[in-house]
Structure formats: structure tokens, C-alpha cells
Amino acid sequence: MRCNALFLTFFVFMSLVLIHVQEVEAWTRDKCDISDNFIGKCGDKGGRECAADFYRIKVIVTRCSCRDFLKSRICDCKIC
């Protein structure tokens, strides 16, 4: 009986820990993404242009992707 109670307690504790870790990872992933609209089209070097545009507004980014949207472009970058 004591062994069953210890096992159940351990299982509940580990479940809570794993859920908390998943929440922290999701929060970190969301906070690392930044997106903004800029004038112009993406062209061949859209990612580099996006990084330069963010640098002009004092935001240092890593990996950027660019997609055209009407007469502007949407830049999605990582800041972590």
C-alpha cells in the first residue's frame, strides 16, 4: 500500500513538472518571434532586407523570412 501511494505521488509530481516545462517552452517560443510590415517587396534577398529594416529601428534580429503582402512586405524574425 505504501509503495502504491509513493508511486502515485511521484507520478502526479512528475506530471506537474512536465506540464510546467511545456508552458515555459511555449512562452519562450512566442516571445522570441517578432513581425512587422515594411514598404517594398521582398525580392531575392528578402531576409537580409528584413534584418536591415529591423536594425534601423534598433532591434537586433537573427533568422528572418519575408513574404509579400499587397504593396508591402511582412518580415518574420527571431530575436532570441
DSSP string of the chain, one letter each residue: -HHHHHHHHHHHHHHHHHHHHHHHHHHHHHHTEEEEEEES---TTHHHHHHHHHHHTT---EEEEEEEETTEEEEEEE--
Give the pTM. Answer: 0.58
Over residues 21-75, the pLDDT tens digits come to 455 555 555 678 899 999 999 989 889 999 999 999 998 898 999 999 988 999 9
Average pLDDT estimate for 6-22: 54
Asked whether the beta carbons of 37 and 4 are under 8 A apart, the reply is no
Domain boundaries defined on the chain: 1-31, 34-80
How does 68-77 read in b/e, with b if 16+ C-beta sit within 10 Å? eeeeebbbbb
